[in-house]
Amino acid sequence: MELVGNAAGETESPHAILPKVILGIGLRIILFYGLAIAVLALVYPHKLAPNGQSPFVWVFSHAGIPGADTLMTLVIFSAAVSAANSAIYASSRMLWSMAGDRFAPACFGKTNGGGVPVYAILITVLLALVSLLTRYIPAQQFYLYLIASTGQVGCLAWITIGWCQYRFRQSVCNGTYASDLLRYRSPLFPWTARFVIITNFCHYGRYLV
């Protein structure tokens, strides 16, 4: 969802496009995550331990689909590449935007003829190479460290997003900002903003314990 906000700044008509994009993301989450987990829960025996095998591989194998392990490897690989591509885009564009506002070194704001922030992408890729430390650090330990550290940052980001949205909507209602700035209204406001702030604050506290 953060990528939607990053891409909105470069969209010609975000007021018309963003509602469709947000709806599409919600439907994809329900389809690819919610439905897949629901089917897995209905098919996979609850008393059967995974024993190092993916539950999805077990389901596909017992469904008579040949090469289930290869299929899941391809799915995981494509998902990892897609996630890496999205992360590089978001990080580089964020650095580019921060450089334009003088919150980051000016070199990150430089782009080539196609408008690509080359230096921002380069530093993002170099920092991503930290993942190669799994050669020297046990992969499970390093993975848990990354999840904990990025989870804290993610919670702080969503707390900030929820608070900014809450204050902005209040400012519009109070007349501080013009009402025409609010083209797309978040449903169930202010409860959605409060829910985001409280739940992420609780998760952040769990990381600190």
Q: What is the pLDDT of residues 60-97, one digit of tens each?
A: 777 777 776 777 778 778 888 888 888 888 888 888 88
**Residues 11-24 pLDDT 10s:** 777 777 777 777 88
Mean pLDDT for 51-59 is: 70
Cβ atoms of residues 128 and 85 within 8 Å: no
Residue type, 147: I
| pTM > 0.75: yes or no | no
Which pLDDT band, with edges at 50, 70 and 90, does 9 fall under? low
Q: Which two tokens stand for residue 168?
A: 């902005």
The ranges assigned to domains in the chain are 1-43, 51-135, 137-209
Terminal CA-CA length for the chain: 27
- pLDDT of amino acid 52: 62
Backbone dihedral angles phi then psi of residue 112, each to the nearest 5 degrees: -85, -170
Radius of gyration of the chain (CA): 21
Give yes or no for residue 197 having a pLDDT over 70: yes
Average pLDDT of the segment spanning 139-155: 77
Q: What is the DSSP letter of 186?
A: P
Own/partner pairs for 196-205, CB < 8 Å, 24+ apart?
Answer: 196/158, 196/159, 196/161, 196/162, 197/159, 197/162, 197/163, 197/166, 200/155, 200/156, 200/158, 200/159, 200/162, 201/155, 201/159, 203/151, 203/155, 204/152, 204/155, 204/156, 204/159
Separation CA 198–CA 155 (nearest Å): 10
* Average pLDDT of the residues in 167-181: 82
Contact 8, 2 (CB under 8 A): no
